[in-house]
C-alpha cells in the first residue's frame, strides 16, 4: 500500500501530540518495510526528522492546507491516509483513512478552546469519524467518550497508547542552570504542558501558595510550556501576586532543557481537568520523579498506582498531597519505584505494531 501520514503536529506542536506522532511514526517506519510512506507537513517541517521517507511540504496554512493536501494525496495515489491532525483531509477525499481523536474537549469543554477549534470539531468531526475506516484514541477513557457521543461500531475505535520517548537522563544537575534565559536552582516543583484553562493551573498556584504560607517548601514553581488559550487570568490570581517571585512561566522549552528540568525537580505536578492521555506523567516517571495528578479523565490510566491523586479542582487536597511527598521520604521512594515499573508497559515499538494491525485491516477491508 501507499500510505500518507499527516505529521504536522511533529513540527507545529512539538510536545504532547507532536511528540506522540513523531515517535510512533518513527517506530512505524522502522518496523514496516512492506508499505510505501509519504509524509505531509507544513512549511516548518524538516527532512532530517524522518530520513528515507518522502516528505511533501505544503506552505499554505489554515484551511487551504487541507485542500492542497487532499490534492497532493490524489496525485500521489495514496491508498490510506493516517492523520494525527486534520479531520478535514479524510473527509473531502475518497481515500481510506485512519484518524486520531486525542480527546473531545472542544465539544465537552468548549470554553477551554479557541472558537475555531470548537467550530471545526462541531462541523467536521462527526462526519470524519463516520467516514474513517478506523479511529485511534490514546486511552480507554477517550475511547469511551468517542463511543458515547458517536453511534459507530465499537471495533472501529482502537487504543494506541503512547510510549516512552528516548529522552536523555543525565542525572540531576547540581547548582544553578539556565532555561530560556532564566536561572533555575533546586528545589522546585515542575509542571510541563500548555498554559491554558483546562490544565487548571490556578489550583496548582493556590496549592503552591498554601505550601509557602505554611513554610513547608522553600523552593519555587516552574511551569514549562507555551502560553495557550486564556492564560492571562493566572496572572490576576491573588496567590500569584503574593508569590510571583517564586512562580516562573518558562514558555516553550527545548528537549534538552526539558530533560534538565525533569532531572532536577523535586515533584512533578499535573493538575489537568481532562487529558486524552497525559504523556508528561510518563516522562516524569522516566526521570525518577514522584508525581501528583488529578483523578480525572485518562490520567489514572497514565499514572496507574505510581502517583498520588487529588479530586478535580481541589487546590487544598493538592496542597495536602504535595505536603505528604515533601515530608515523607519513604512515600516518595515508593512512588518512584512504582513509576519505574509502570512505564515499562509503554513502548513505541509495541504501539507501532498495533498501528500496523490497523493498516492491514484497512487494506483487507
Question: How confident is the model over 179-188, as pLDDT tens digits?
Answer: 888 889 999 9
327-352 b/e (C-beta count within 10 Å ≥ 16 → b): eeeeebeebbebbeebbeebebeebb
- Average pLDDT for the chain: 91
Look at the block and give the residue holding cell 515533584: 267
At the fourth CATH level, the homologous superfamily of domain 176-343 is Glycogen Phosphorylase B; (3.40.50.2000)
Instruction: Return left, alpha or beta for 52; rule: phi > 0 is left, psi -120 to 50 is alpha, else beta.
Output: left
Where along the chain do its domains lie? 2-163+347-364, 176-343
SS3 328: coil
pLDDT reported for residue 357: 96
Q: Looking at the domain that runs over 2-163+347-364, which CATH code has it been given?
A: 3.40.50.2000
Tell whether the model's pLDDT for residue 214 goes beyond 70.
Answer: yes
SS3 269: strand
pLDDT reported for residue 38: 96
Mean pLDDT of 318-325: 98
pLDDT reported for residue 148: 95
- Residue pLDDT, tens place only, 226-260: 887 778 888 888 998 899 999 999 998 988 899 99
Q: In what order do the strands lie in the sheet with 2-6?
A: 54-57, 36-41, 2-6, 80-83, 96-100, 134-137, 157-159
pLDDT reported for residue 290: 98
Mean pLDDT of 53-66: 81
pLDDT band at residue 158 using 50, 70 and 90 as cut-offs: very high
Same fold, 2-163+347-364 and 176-343: yes
> Which has more confidence, 365 or 52?
52
Amino acid at each position: 500500500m501507499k500510505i500518507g501520514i499527516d505529521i504536522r503536529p511533529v513540527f507545529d506542536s512539538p510536545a504532547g501530540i507532536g511528540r506522540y506522532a513523531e515517535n510512533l511514526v518513527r517506530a512505524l517506519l522502522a518496523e514496516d518495510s512492506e508499505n510505501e510512506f509519504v509524509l505531509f507537513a507544513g512549511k516548518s517541517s524538516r527532512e532530517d526528522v524522518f530520513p528515507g521517507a518522502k516528505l511533501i511540504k505544503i506552505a499554505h496554512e489554515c484551511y487551504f492546507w487541507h485542500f492542497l493536501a487532499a490534492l497532493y494525496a490524489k496525485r500521489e495515489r495514496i491508498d490510506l491516509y493516517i492523520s494525527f491532525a486534520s479531520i478535514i483531509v479524510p473527509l473531502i477525499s475518497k481515500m481510506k483513512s485512519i484518524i486520531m481523536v486525542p480527546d473531545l474537549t472542544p465539544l465537552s469543554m468548549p470554553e477551554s478552546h479557541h472558537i475555531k477549534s470548537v467550530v471545526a470539531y462541531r462541523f467536521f468531526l462527526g462526519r470524519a469519524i463516520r467516514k474513517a475506516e478506523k479511529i485511534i484514541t490514546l486511552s480507554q477513557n477517550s475511547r469511551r467518550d468517542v463511543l458515547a457521543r458517536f453511534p459507530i461500531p465499537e471495533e472501529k475505535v482502537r487504543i494506541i497508547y503512547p510510549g516512552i520517548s528516548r529522552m536523555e537522563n543525565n542525572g540531576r544537575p547540581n547548582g544553578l542552570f539556565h532555561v530560556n534565559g532564566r536561572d533555575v536552582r533546586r528545589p522546585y516543583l515542575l509542571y510541563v504542558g500548555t498554559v491554558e484553562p483546562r490544565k487548571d493551573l490556578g489550583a496548582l498556584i493556590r496549592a503552591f501558595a498554601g505550601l509557602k504560607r505554611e513554610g513547608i517548601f522553600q523552593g519555587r514553581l516552574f511551569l514549562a510550556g507555551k502560553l495557550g488559550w486564556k492564560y492571562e487570568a493566572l496572572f490576576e490570581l491573588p496567590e500569584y501576586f503574593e508569590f510571583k517571585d517564586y512562580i516562573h512561566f518558562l514558555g516553550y522549552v527545548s528537549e534538552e532543557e526539558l530533560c534538565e528540568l525533569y532531572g532536577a525537580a523535586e515533584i512533578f505536578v499535573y493538575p489537568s481537568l481532562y487529558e486524552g492521555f497525559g504523556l508528561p506523567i510518563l516522562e516524569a516517571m522516566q526521570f525518577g520523579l514522584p508525581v501528583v495528578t488529578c483523578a480525572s479523565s485518562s490520567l489514572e490510566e497514565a499514572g496507574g498506582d505510581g502517583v498520588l491523586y487529588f479530586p478535580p479542582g481541589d487546590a487544598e487536597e493538592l496542597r495536602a498531597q504535595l505536603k505528604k511527598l515533601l515530608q515523607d521520604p519513604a512515600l516518595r521512594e515508593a512512588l518512584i519505584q512504582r513509576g519505574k515499573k509502570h512505564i515499562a508497559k509503554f513502548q513505541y515499538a509495541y504501539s507501532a505494531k498495533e498501528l500496523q494491525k490497523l493498516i492491514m485491516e484497512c487494506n483487507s477491508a
